[in-house]
Amino acid sequence: MPDQLIFAMEVILNGLLNGVMYSLVALGFVLIFKASGIFNYAQGVMALFAAMTLVGIQQGRVPFGHLINAIFGTDIHYFGWEVPALAAILMTVLIMIAFAYLVQRFVFKHLVGQEPIILFMATIGLAYFLEGVSDLMWGSEIRNLDVGLPQGINDWIDVTTFEALGYGFFIDNLDIAAAIIAAILVMSLIAYSQYTKNGRAMRAVADDHQAALSVGISLNYVWILVWSLAGMVALVAGVMWGSKSGVQFSLSLIALKALPVLMLGGFTSIPGAIVGGLIIGVGEALFEFAIGPMIGGATENWFAYVLALVFLVFRPQGLFGEKIIERV
Amino acid sequence: MLDQSTGGYTTADGRKIGDVVMEMRGITLRFGGVEAIKDISFDVREGEIRAIIGPNGAGKSSMLNVISGFYHPQEGEVLYKGSKRPPMKPYQVARQGIARTFQNIALFEGMSVLDNVMTGRLNHMKTGFFAQGLWWGKAEAEETKNRAKAEEIIDFLEIQAIRKTPVGRLPYGLKKRVELARALAAEPQILLLDEPMAGMNVEEKEDMSRFILDVNDEFGTTIVLIEHDMGVVMDLSDRVVVMDYGKKIGDGTPDEVRNNQEVIDAYLGVSHD
């Protein structure tokens, strides 16, 4: 097999696994958009906040440590214990649920029936507010996140491909773990929204508020549910990205990469978020591999957006989005 | 025919009508300075078809929205099953067994007909969400039971052929019927129908009338309906409330109402001095 082809295969594989990471972020957007028609600008910051909280709890940091020290003149930073990963994850989930409740109670409950653009503006405000809260609560240093996920090169793939092709593929264990976790997440989300009572209620609320009320669905309850789910998806995305590149504030910017993914996959489709992420992942990796060197590289920064733009022209609802039918 | 002392009465076609199940007492509803409903009282008896009629803007839909909890009246009270009902949210009213349809159809357009009907069963689902998601044990039995009920109602309303069709693609007349199916799926004690025949042709109106009568007959559901078409209302209902400019101007059997001078005036616009 020619070398170029083998390299291309490795690039595609890594692109696919990278795409999974994009999909994880995009999923959170899709969830909230499907259920409430809100484009949640804060999704990226929620991932950051979740990851920060997880690290903070794991390392036994005192929340708002800097603030407390500044006010009381104390010098405390750690409780002096370490929380096991699983317990810390559970506590973070609880915090994300509490966050969902607060968001609904103090922000979106008062904006029921408002224009989508107003709700969107509210999520922008929420994003900056939450970014500030994470900073105050846990500080702004880059943190290492380790919840026991496998890291580093996968030896088995390396050896097998070396024996078969004479060239060992470099595949990160963490990327494989991310792919498996994403698959489990998507399957459980689909099972949840298709087969459970709450899932049905969620879809009903997304479709028509009045009708949902008339069959006995509480909008408030469903919205808290949706924000909690989005918080948990944000946690998963935050853990994966955090394990890969450390928990830092630039994490909130990965949300931007989810935009082209959503344009490709459609804002309302869970499978769409996955497929969109994979296409972007592979597309930008291949483009960088094949064309990048000719035009000076670093094409990953813009390729996804151009691809999404081209897509918008031909299929504005995305690959899996609901078809826009206009009845006159 | 009416026998208030024993609590019930028997209709001309021999159906037994029971006790008062819901009573409106002195309901007044204002929007800012406009009084949409002025001090209206009436009752609804178990098993009857009760109509609210009146010209455009008479406050009929507002009345229905008061019953279903979408509006809260400034004065007066709603008595349900003998006790005073506190101000409630629409979803709480729905959980008490009062289902409704809407004048401008409120369906889940993106879902299939079957899924729409199944949402009507939401309050009959009790198992935990893990069991439901995994289709496990009791959840499976429960889903099968709810599904059977939904299918029964789909059969009843003769919409088997469109079970899997997304509602958004259906013509108007069928959408109205799907909405009725969803309301029925909740097995309500009281069914509120907001202009079930609006915008239909003669044939569709006849079909809908037949379904309403069948529902009442078969399931014994108490029905409160709003309608424009006087002919339809008079044939369909046991007792009629007539509203005009937010006030009640008549209440009684179709025959009594038909001969009420005030009602004739409201509908024909005759000045009467």
Is the per-residue pLDDT at B120 higher than 60? Answer: yes
Beta bridge partners of A258: none
Residues of A with CB under 8 A from a CB of B: 188, 191-192, 195-201, 203-204, 206-208, 210-219, 322, 325
What ranges do the domains of chain B cover? 1-97+190-208+224-273, 106-187
A52: its two tokens: 């920060």
For residue A159, the number of C-alpha atoms closer than 13 Å in the C-beta half-sphere is: 3
Chain position carrying tokens 């309303």 = B157
Q: Does B171 touch chain A (CB under 8 A)?
A: no
Distance of CA B11 to CAs A111, B194, B242, B253, B254, Å? 49, 24, 20, 10, 12
Secondary structure in 3-state letters for A84-109: CHHHHHHHHHHHHHHHHHHHHHHCHH
Confidence at residue A322, expressed as pLDDT on a 0 to 100 scale? 66
Whether B132 contacts chain A with CB within 8 A? yes
From the list A201, A206, A219, the residue facing B122 with the nearest CB is: A201
ipTM, 2 dp: 0.81
Task: Identify the closest residue of chain A to B121 by CA–CA distance.
Answer: A215
- Weakest-pLDDT range from A94-103, B5-14, B111-120, B177-186: B5-14
pLDDT at residue A32, rounded to an integer = 82
Q: How far apart are CA A269 and CA A267, in angstroms?
A: 6
Q: Tell me: the pLDDT tens digits for A243-296?
A: 888 888 888 777 778 889 988 888 888 888 889 999 999 999 999 888 888 888
According to DSSP, the residues that pair with B25 across neighbouring strands are B77
CA dihedral B262, B264, B265, B267 (to 10 degrees): 120
- Which of B132, B146, B165, B193 to probe by mutation at the A interface, max A CB count within 10 Å? B132
- Of A252 and A22, the structure prediction assigns the larger pLDDT to A22
Interface touch A213/B99, C-beta < 8 Å: no
- Contact at CB, B109 and A207, closer than 8 angstroms: yes
B271 falls in which pLDDT band (50, 70, 90)? low
pLDDT value for B1: 46
Closest by Cα among B41, B25, B26 to B79: B25
Please answer yes or no on whether B133 and A211 come within 8 Å at the CB atom: no
Residue pair B224/B52 in contact by the 8 Å Cβ criterion: yes
Rounded to whole angstroms, how far apart are CA atoms A34 and A233? Answer: 14
User: For residue B110, is pLDDT > 90?
Assistant: no
pLDDT of residue B185: 94
Partner-chain contact B108 A201, CB within 8 Å: no
* H helix intervals, A197-269: 197-207, 209-214, 219-245, 254-265
- How close A206 gets to chain B, by Cα (Å)? 9
Amino acid at A1: M
pTM, two decimal places: 0.81
The β-bridge relationship of strands B75-80 and B20-31 is: antiparallel
State which fold the B106-187 domain adopts. Rossmann fold (3.40.50)
Q: Which amino acid is at A150?
A: P
CA A21 to CA A16: how far, in whole Å? 9
Report long-range pairs for A15-18 (Cβ below 8 Å, ≥24 apart): A15/A281, A15/A282, A15/A283, A15/A284, A15/A285, A15/A286, A16/A179, A16/A278, A16/A281, A16/A282, A17/A171, A17/A172, A17/A175, A17/A176, A17/A178, A17/A179, A17/A281, A18/A175, A18/A281, A18/A285
Any idea where the domains of chain A sit in the sequence? 3-314
Q: How many CA atoms lie within 13 A of B104 on its CB side?
A: 3
CB contact under 8 A, B119 and A204: yes
Nearest to A257 by CA among A239, A271, A243, A237: A237
Interface subset of B 57-76, CB within 8 angstroms of A: 68, 70
Work out the angle between the directed axes of helices B138-156 and B202-219 (0-180°, nearest 10).
Answer: 130
The C-alpha atoms of residue A5 and residue B124 are separated, in whole angstroms, by 58
Rounded-to-integer distance, Cα A218 and Cα B92, Å: 8
Distance CA B96, CA B106 (A): 20
Residues A193 and B129: beta-carbon distance below 8 Å: no
Residue A134 in contact with residue A65, Cβ under 8 Å?
no
| Domains B1-97+190-208+224-273 and B106-187 in one fold | yes
Inter-chain CB proximity B102 and A210 less than 8 Å: yes
Mean pLDDT, range B213-240, rounded to an integer: 89
Distance CA A271, CA A253 (A): 23
Q: Which amino acid is at A306?
A: V
End-to-end Cα separation, chain B, in angstroms: 33
Which of B109, B115, B123 is nearest residue A216 as measured by Cβ atoms? B123
- CA dist list (Å): A96 to A93, A198, B37, B54: 5, 18, 45, 52
> What are the DSSP calls for A41-90, one per residue?
TTHHHHHHHHHHHHHHHHTTBPTTHHHHHHHH-----B-S----HHHHHH
For B38-73, the pLDDT digits (tens) are 999 999 999 999 999 988 888 899 999 999 999 999
φ, ψ of residue B204 to 5 degrees: the values are: -65, -35
- Residue B89 sits at the chain A interface (C-beta within 8 Å): yes
At A68, is the pLDDT very low, low, confident or very high (cuts 50, 70, 90)? confident
- β partners of residue B243: B248
Banded pLDDT at A1 (limits 50, 70, 90)? low
Chain A nearest-CA distance from B255, in A, is: 33
Cα gap A271→A322, rounded to integer Å: 12
Q: A197: which 2 tokens? A: 């009572």
Give the architecture (CATH level 2) of B1-97+190-208+224-273: 3-Layer(aba) Sandwich (3.40)
| A/B interface, count of CB pairs below 8 Å | 92
The Cα–Cα gap between A300 and B127 comes to 47
Pairwise CA distance, residues B7 & A265, whole Å? 62
Nearest chain A alpha carbon to B171: A327
- By the 10 Å C-beta count (0-12 exposed, 13-18 middle, 19+ buried), A328 is classed as exposed
- What pLDDT, on the 0 to 100 scale, is given for residue B45? 93
Instruction: For residue range A184-243, list pLDDT tens digits in order.
Output: 988 888 888 888 888 888 888 888 888 898 899 998 899 899 899 999 999 999 998 888
Question: In this complex, do B91 and A213 lie within 8 Å of one another by their Cβ atoms?
Answer: yes
Probe site for chain B from A205, A214, A229 (most B CB atoms < 10 A): A214
Of A125 and A328, more confident: A125
Q: What is the pLDDT of residue A189?
A: 86
Q: What is the mean pLDDT of chain A?
A: 87
**pLDDT at B38 (0 to 100):** 93
Q: What percent of chain B has a predicted confidence (pLDDT) above 90? A: 53
Task: Compute the average pLDDT of residues A303-320.
Answer: 86
Check whether B272 has a pLDDT greater than 70.
no
Kindly list the residues from chain A whose CB atom is less than 8 angstroms away from the CB atom of residue B134.
191
pLDDT tier, A328 (very low <50, low <70, confident <90, very high otherwise): low
- Tell me what pLDDT residue A169 has: 83
The residue of chain A nearest to residue B109, with distances taken between CA atoms, is A207
Can you tell me the distance from the alpha carbon of A228 to that of A319, in angstroms, rounded to the nearest whole number?
27
CA distance A168 to A157: 7
For A114-162, what is each residue's pLDDT tens digit? Answer: 888 998 999 999 999 999 999 999 988 888 888 888 888 888 888 888 8
Q: Looking at residue B7, what is its pLDDT?
A: 63
* Of the listed ranges A29-38, A172-181, A268-277, B249-258, the one predicted with least confidence: A29-38
**What letter would DSSP give residue A323?**
P
Q: Determine the residue among B108, B112, B117, B127 to mutate to test chain A binding: the one whose Cβ has the most chain A Cβ atoms within 10 Å.
A: B108
